């Protein structure tokens, strides 16, 4: 079989394509594998599907199920009567190409060597991720999605989905993301990459144990500071024990992350975010990029976001508006910065539910 689906023990599914998958870089892999989770039931005319794109560090496990009772990263968003209502919609969340949670990436086996790809896995772009996912949606026989949505890097995929396939979704929601990285975004990720690559055990990506790379852990500490607003951090750790507390907070969370995530995967994904630029380095006007989009669109910005700042959300919104897209804009007031969509789930649930159910 060229394409087929298998079920995993944890209740997730795996889509396998034995056709060559070609990356933008010109490299290719075979097979292509995508792990995904579903919630709800696909209706008879296949018109009720919603694709939720995950952020950099999460995966396809959106919410707890009978077979996988672990809390999902948007657990309270999914279920009967919730924003992603499983009585109405068929929810699909796909682990991104290049990630480390089952889809093809540095941890999967290279059939030519019978060893993990590691540092030899091809460079990945957001467009590569979307094109791979479109293969799965086509395999389902879904002609048009009810909605496509995501936060942070996930929103990059959601917007790219409609740029590549303008008629393929009726609703688009972009949360805390951008149409192109700004210099500060590049600088943030450049520092993280250089910290990792200075580690004596890095070995050009051919390391022995990802979780023991001190450079990876330090890089993650740096990244953590951009996910929350500094005002919230200062208020949270104020007092005589503040410095010790922030030290412990960063150390604990960074170590927890590197214990579960692979360094080569991390680098592939942050590099994909770095290369994401719908203007193609200024050679295209954003409004021209968006002119074919038919979907009703919602852009949500967190007003305290220091990773993808409100001006980046406004740039995206204004370009969509200029292109004639039916677009709404919400500026969410929060002290939680970029992580707000993961922390204040009730508020974001209300935004999403109202939008995708509006006539």
In this structure, the strands spanning 171-175 and 296-302 are parallel
Tell me: do 205 and 69 sit in the same domain. no
Shared-domain flag, residues 263 and 325? no
Regarding whether 96 and 146 lie in a shared domain, the answer is yes
The CA distance from 112 to 131, in Å, is 24
Task: Please give the structure tokens belonging to residue 274.
Answer: 């770095």
d(CA 264, CA 241): 35
358 pLDDT band, cuts 50/70/90, is confident
Element (H, E) at 174: strand 171-175
Determine the pLDDT at residue 280: 87
Pairing of strands 32-39, 90-94: antiparallel
Check whether residue 247 and residue 297 sit in a common domain.
no
DSSP letter (8 states) at residue 73: T
Give 261-307 pLDDT, tens digit per residue. Answer: 999 999 999 999 999 999 988 789 999 999 999 999 999 999 999 99
Instruction: Report the DSSP beta bridge partners of residue 150.
Output: 53, 174
CB-side exposure of 344: number of CA atoms within 13 Å? 18
Q: Where are the alpha helices (DSSP H) in the chain?
A: 126-140, 153-164, 183-197, 214-227, 230-236, 242-260, 263-275, 286-290, 310-322, 340-343, 345-357
For residue 289, which of 326, 328, 320 has the smallest C-alpha distance?
320
d(C-alpha 337, C-alpha 228), whole Å? 5
Residue 234, token pair as written in the block: 């200062």
Q: Which of 241, 274, 307 is the last residue of a domain?
A: 274
Q: Do 168 and 193 have their domain in common?
A: no
Q: Output the domain CATH number for residue 231.
A: 1.10.1740.110
Closest to 153 measured CA to CA, from 188, 171, 178, 128: 178
243 and 319, same domain (yes or no): no
* Last residue within a domain, chosen from 244, 274, 304: 274
Structural Rg of the chain based on CA atoms: 20
How is 234-284 classified by DSSP, letter by letter? HHHT-STTHHHHHHHHHHHHHHHHHHHS-HHHHHHHHHHHHH-BTTTTTTS
Residues 290 and 145 placed together within one structural domain of the fold: yes
Looking at residue 14, what is its pLDDT?
98
**Would residue 174 be called left, alpha or beta, if left means φ above 0 and alpha means ψ between -120 and 50 degrees?**
beta
Is the pLDDT at 49 greater than 70? The verdict is yes
Please state, in angstroms and rounded to a whole number, the distance separating the CA atoms of residues 16 and 103: 9
Show the domain range for 15. 3-181+279-357
Task: Mark whether 50 and 194 lie in a shared domain.
Answer: no
57 and 205 fall within a common domain? no
Number of domains in the chain: 2
| Residue 234 binned pLDDT confidence (cut-offs 50, 70, 90) | confident
Structure tokens, 230:
């500094």
- Global confidence as pTM: 0.95
- On whether the CB atoms of residues 58 and 73 are closer than 8 A, the answer is yes
Q: How far apart are CA 288 and CA 128, in angstroms?
A: 21
Identify the domain boundary among 226, 251, 274. Answer: 274
Do both 86 and 229 map to the same domain?
A: no
Give me the percent of the chain exceeding a pLDDT of 90.
Answer: 91
176, 55: one domain: yes
Which DSSP letter does residue 123 get? P
* Cα–chain center distance at 237: 29
Q: How far apart are CA 254 and CA 266, in angstroms?
A: 13
pLDDT digits (tens, 9 = 90+) for 87-141: 999 999 999 999 999 999 999 999 999 999 999 999 999 999 999 999 999 999 9
Q: Supply the CATH number for residue 326's domain.
A: 3.40.50.1820
> 168 and 198, same structural domain?
no
Active site residues: 152, 305, 338
Residue 299 is encoded by which pair of tokens? 């852009």
What are the phi and psi torsion angles at 16 (to 5°)?
Answer: -125, 130
pLDDT in tens, 64-79: 999 999 999 999 999 9
User: CA-CA distance, 217 to 250, in Å (whole number)?
Assistant: 9
């Amino acid at each position: 079989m060229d394409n087929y689906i298998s079920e995993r023990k944890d209740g997730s599914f795996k889509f396998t394509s034995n056709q060559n998958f070609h990356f933008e870089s010109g490299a290719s892999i075979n097979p292509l594998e995508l792990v995904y989770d579903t919630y709800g039931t696909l209706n008879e005319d296949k018109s009720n599907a919603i694709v939720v794109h995950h952020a950099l560090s999460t995966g396809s496990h959106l919410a707890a199920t009978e077979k996988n009772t672990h809390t999902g990263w948007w657990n309270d968003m999914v279920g009967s009567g919730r924003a992603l209502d499983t009585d109405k919609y068929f929810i699909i969340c796909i682990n991104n190409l290049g990630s480390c949670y089952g889809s093809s990436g540095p941890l999967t086996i290279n059939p030519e060597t019978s060893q993990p790809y590691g540092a030899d896995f091809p460079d990945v772009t957001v467009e590569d991720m979307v094109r791979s996912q479109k293969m799965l949606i086509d395999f389902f026989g879904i002609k048009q999605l009810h909605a496509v949505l995501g936060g942070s890097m996930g929103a990059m995929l959601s917007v790219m989905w409609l740029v590549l396939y303008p008629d393929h979704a009726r609703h688009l929601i972009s949360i805390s993301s951008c149409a192109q990285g700004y210099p500060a975004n590049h600088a943030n990720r450049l520092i993280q990459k250089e910290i990792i690559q200075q580690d004596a055990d890095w070995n050009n990506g051919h390391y022995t144990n990802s979780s023991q790379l001190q450079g990876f852990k330090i890089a993650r500490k740096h990244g953590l500071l951009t996910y929350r607003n500094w005002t919230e951090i200062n208020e949270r750790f104020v007092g005589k024990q503040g410095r010790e507390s922030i030290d412990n907070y960063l150390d604990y969370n960074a170590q927890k992350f590197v214990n579960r995530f692979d360094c080569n995967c991390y680098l592939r994904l942050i590099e994909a975010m770095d290369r994401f630029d719908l203007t193609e380095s200024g050679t295209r006007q954003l409004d021209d990029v968006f002119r074919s989009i038919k979907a009703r669109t919602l852009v949500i910005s967190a007003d305290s976001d220091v990773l993808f700042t409100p001006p980046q959300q406004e740039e995206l919104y204004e370009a969509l508006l200029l292109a004639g897209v039916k677009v709404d804009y919400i500026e969410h007031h929060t002290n939680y910065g970029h992580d707000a969509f993961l922390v204040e789930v009730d508020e974001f649930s209300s935004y999403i539910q109202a939008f995708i159910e509006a006539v």
